[in-house]
Amino acid sequence: MEKISEEEQRSDDYLHPSTRTKLINDVTTELVVVHLKTITDNPVTGCENMFKNKLLDQLKEMYTAFKYQEIHTMKSISNHFGPYIVQRGNLLIKDENLSSKPVQMVDELMKLKDEVDNIVNYSFSGHNEFQTCRMKSFYNFMNQSDSPTIWIAQWCHDFMINTCKGLSNEEVNEKLDKVIDLFLRTDGRDQFIFK
């Protein structure tokens, strides 16, 4: 990012404004596009490592550098982001201990959703590519069975009966918004009848 900023400054200082776009395009092509796979796929410093270790500032820097060549680069990051979300979601969904505790399961799913939302909004500035990736990834792992819809129904039942007492209206609305957002990622909405 520093090199791109230096070239932008040089172009502002020494070159005619009409050449600025071409120069920045050439510099970002050389610094970013040519080395794209090396940057994103590196097992030690690449995307997966940044997601796993919650290196939000580094993800933001990468996004900022990559947005100069958006057509070539955003898909490369989202190709790592989607599988990361699905893998994390599958770990939760397939956890037998959590499967028997629907309230805790839904709480964990909401935590994952908050974490992913933070990455999308902070590191990727809410870019549409990553919003779509997040939506499709949650949809992918949430629809492997009807269980998530049933868990959500049980969570709502518990929340209304036990948890929401003593919470402010804002806190209740915040929790309900989060669970509705999860619910919208499920196909089995007709299962939403708690017995």
Per-residue pLDDT of the chain in tens (195 residues, 90 and over written 9) = 566 567 667 666 766 777 777 766 676 676 666 667 778 888 888 899 999 999 999 999 889 888 877 777 888 899 999 999 999 999 999 999 998 999 999 999 999 999 999 999 999 999 999 999 999 999 999 998 888 988 999 999 999 998 888 889 999 999 999 999 999 998 866 655 554
Domain ranges of the chain: 74-191
Q: What is the pLDDT of residue 65?
A: 80
In 3D, which of 151, 137, 3, 135 has the Cα closest to residue 68?
3
Q: What is the pLDDT of residue 190?
A: 60
Q: In degrees rounded to 5, what are phi and psi of residue 90? A: -65, -35
Q: What is the pLDDT of residue 187?
A: 83
Question: Could you tell me the CA-to-CA distances from 67 to 20, 50, 103 in Å, in that order?
Answer: 17, 18, 40
Q: What is the pLDDT of residue 195?
A: 47
pTM of the predicted model as reported, rounded to 2 decimal places: 0.82
